[in-house]
Amino acid sequence: MSNLTQPDAVLESLRFPVAEELAERFASAGHSLYLVGGSVRDALLRRPAQDLDFTTDARPERVRAILTGWAEAIWDTGIAFGTLGARRRGVDVEITTFRADSYDRTSRNPEVRFGDSVIDDLVRRDFTVNAMAVDLVNRTFVDPYDGLAALSARRLDTPATPQESFADDPLRMMRAARFVSQLGFTPAPRVVEAMTAMAGELERITAERIQVELSKLLCGRYPRRGVELMVDTGLAATVLPEVPAMRLEIDEHHQHKDVYQHSLVVLDQAIDLEDEDNSPDLVLRLAALLHDIGKPPTRRHISGGGVSFHHHEVVGAKMVRKRLRALRYPKDVIEDVAQLVYLHLRFHGYGRGEWTDSAVRRYVTDAGPLLTRLHKLVRADCTTRNRRKAAALQRTYDGLEERIARIAAEEDLARVRPDLDGNEIMRLLGLPPGPLVGQAWRFLKDLRLDRGPLDHDEAVAELRRWAAEQGITPGGESPAAGDAG
């Protein structure tokens, strides 16, 4: 247990003023109060304490009475489940009456029943490492299901049988994978066995709840381990079926790995490229894991040996949008991940630097605010074991980044706009607002990307030339203008 804080030390380290004040109020009212769950687990792991969770024998209305006059704010959105929240001096607490629920195991809706024993309350919890408590009134450590031993062994097990626990709430299987990712724990064999047998039960859980757990998993310290557990147990077949579908598809660039293993390596390498002082980048991690999901449906055998995956980035971007929408991700996350997947192959056309400045401008413009993430994804996508080839690819990308920096410094690529704005286009061509103005604007923007900044007279001449080709005369519209909208 050298990496854990001893229980006696936990009792001392958990002397939060807010917790001690609460304990005094509950004791004076004749009730018990226990600090429970993740707060105790994290203290034992010497992790910073977040919000504090408590359990008590006091019923909800009694809890409200005890909090009144002490808490600066009280909220009761969870009171039907026996939970009240409160805030005191910037610290949020949740206090839940002992529970002894039963579940219908179809909709997963619990029949809420309050209990009278902390032991019975703890057996309801998801894992033994979360089923430890500190009696704040008597200053004793409560560990009826050997959570401390499991924590010391970095083992994930359930207080009741895994079958009972997962039948009560199938989302606990996703939570197991999340704890593997966040804490580096190893699930007990019986937990893995139950997850494998019951993976299909996840279909009873709403997409929103699954998405929350998946995002926490991917933002953990060891997301690859969590993904592997999901795939090996079959959970991924429900949550992200495109990921296990990659297992047997050989990557045409990296023959030593199948696409699934390659994608896991890319995930690891993308994480290594994240900024150390920033929080985990969910968009980058999703893109790294899913960047090649378009390969299985685009796989084609080539006569004479080998395979091809033509346009897998286009297909993959569509698949990403469909899957992330099904998981109820926010629109901006969906579009950012899909765009990264769509663009991740673009660099391979760069060769030894044959791109023109125009192609570099388009690369930057298409990436837009995702450029930094695209840099990381492309670099992470190099998983070849050939050190010479890997070094050459990184040098080539170094060269591309240097060109981007040079052109950006000269032309302010972050704000590429046509050399004439919409108002000037309308004035020069005598056009009212409408589709033709947009067409002219896009023509000038493409010209700007191809040739770089134009002086004003040159831009005006190019606009007039384009207008003449379209049959647009100053003060009038082209014969097909009515069809443009």
Per-chain mean pLDDT for the chain: 86
Q: Which residue has the higher pLDDT, 311 or 13?
A: 311
Is residue 74 a contact partner of residue 86, using CB atoms and an 8 Å limit?
Answer: yes
Could you give the percent of the chain with pLDDT greater than 90? 53
pLDDT-derived band at 102, boundaries 50, 70, 90:
low
Distances (CA, A) of 273 to 201, 346, 395: 36, 20, 16
Is residue 84 a contact partner of residue 60, using CB atoms and an 8 Å limit?
Answer: yes
User: Reduced to 3 states, what is the DSSP secondary structure of residue 417?
Assistant: coil
Least confident of 300-309, 432-441, 474-483: 474-483
Other C-beta atoms within 10 Å of 145: how many? 22
Is residue 165 a contact partner of residue 126, using CB atoms and an 8 Å limit?
Answer: yes
> Is 277's pLDDT higher than 90?
no
Q: Rounded to an integer, what distance in angstroms lies between the CA atom of residue 260 and that of residue 288?
A: 11
Q: Give 124's Cβ-side CA count (13 Å radius).
A: 20
Give me the pLDDT at residue 188, please.
98
> Is 348's pLDDT higher than 50?
yes
Looking at the domain 155-239, which fold is it?
Hydrophobic Seed Protein (1.10.110)
Q: Rounded to an integer, what distance in angstroms lies between the CA atom of residue 436 and that of residue 482?
A: 10
Least confident of 24-28, 75-79, 170-174, 224-228: 75-79
> Is 417's pLDDT higher than 50?
yes
> Is 482's pLDDT higher than 50?
no
Residue with tokens 């992790």: 47
pLDDT tens for residues 179-194? 999 999 999 999 999 9
Q: Rounded to an integer, what distance in angstroms lies between the CA atom of residue 366 and that of residue 360?
A: 10
Give me the pLDDT at residue 281, please.
97
Instruction: List the one residue out of 357, 358, 350, 452 whose CA is nearest residue 398.
Output: 350
Strands, E, within 41-90: which ranges? 52-56, 73-75, 83-88
> Is 103's pLDDT higher than 90?
no
Give me the pLDDT at residue 481, please.
40
> Is 413's pLDDT higher than 70?
no
Q: Which residue has the higher pLDDT, 457 or 32?
A: 32
Give me the pLDDT at residue 23, please.
93
Overall average pLDDT of the 332-355 stretch: 87
Question: How many residues are listed for the chain in this entry?
Answer: 485
Give me the pLDDT at residue 324, please.
98
Alpha-helical (H) ranges within 311-455 are 312-326, 331-343, 357-367, 371-380, 387-411, 422-429, 435-451
Distances (CA, A) of 416 to 267, 422, 435, 445: 32, 14, 21, 8
pLDDT tens for residues 435-472? 888 888 888 888 777 777 788 888 888 888 888 888 88
pLDDT tens for residues 155-177? 999 999 999 999 989 999 999 99
Give me the pLDDT at residue 440, please.
86
Q: Which residue has the higher pLDDT, 349 or 462?
A: 462
Give me the pLDDT at residue 6, please.
62
**pTM score of the predicted model:** 0.80
303-331 burial: b if 16+ Cβ within 10 Å, else e: eeeeeebeebbebbbebbbebbeebebee
Q: Rounded to an integer, what distance in angstroms lies between the CA atom of residue 97 and that of residue 115?
A: 8
Sequence spans of domains, the chain: 7-153, 155-239, 267-416, 422-483
Report the DSSP pairing between strands 307-308 and 110-111. Answer: unpaired
Pull the structure tokens for residue 399: 């060269």
238 alpha-carbon distance from chain centroid: 17
Overall average pLDDT of the 131-144 stretch: 92
Under CATH, which number does the domain 7-153 receive? Answer: 3.30.460.10
> Is 412's pLDDT higher than 70?
no
In DSSP terms, 95 is beta-bridged to: 54, 84
Least confident of 101-115, 357-371, 427-441, 459-473: 101-115
Is residue 19 a contact partner of residue 136, using CB atoms and an 8 Å limit?
Answer: yes
161 alpha-carbon distance from chain centroid: 30
Handedness of CA 465, 468, 473, 479 (dihedral sign): negative
> Is 254's pLDDT higher than 80?
no
Give me the pLDDT at residue 414, please.
52
